[in-house]
């Protein structure tokens, strides 16, 4: 059981570290972010608010009492990323990457939190 919890923590940490990195570079508006926003058809002024949303979701996830709502919010964020990539006709990897992040996040949460695991596991008779 201890290994399962640790595995969940590592999976979640991978996603949270990526989201923290992504949020910070949005706040800094570095050249690759500016270029990506232009390619995706978003105004560069949206970078900072999106970075704040990402970092707020990460902060919520770090608090055990708000972890599930943070996972739901991050899942919604990933859905927006998928939608954006599909809209611009991106290759398969930019489309599937947010889906993979969501799968890692929810896997990590379910491994490390028994309540979430029970809620996500179908009841068999």
Q: What does pLDDT average to in each consecutive run of 10 residues of the chain (125 residues)? A: 90 97 98 96 97 98 95 97 97 96 95 80 69
pLDDT for res 22: 98
pTM of the model: 0.90
pLDDT for res 124: 66
Contacts 24+ apart (CB under 8 A), 46-52: 50/23, 50/26, 51/22, 51/23, 51/24, 51/25, 51/26, 51/27, 52/23, 52/27
CA 106 – CA 119 distance, rounded (Å): 12
pLDDT for res 42: 96
């Amino acid at each position: 059981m201890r290994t399962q919890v640790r595995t969940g923590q590592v999976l979640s940490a991978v996603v949270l570290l990526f989201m923290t990195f992504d949020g910070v570079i949005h706040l800094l508006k570095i050249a690759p972010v500016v270029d990506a926003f232009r390619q995706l058809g978003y105004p560069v002024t949206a970078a900072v608010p999106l970075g704040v949303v990402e970092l707020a979701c990460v902060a919520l996830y770090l608090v055990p009492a708000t972890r599930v709502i943070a996972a739901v919010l991050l899942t919604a964020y990933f859905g927006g990323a998928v939608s954006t990539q599909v809209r611009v006709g991106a290759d398969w990897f930019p489309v599937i990457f947010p889906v993979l992040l969501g799968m890692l996040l929810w896997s990590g949460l379910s491994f490390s939190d028994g309540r979430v695991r029970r809620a996500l596991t179908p009841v068999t008779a």
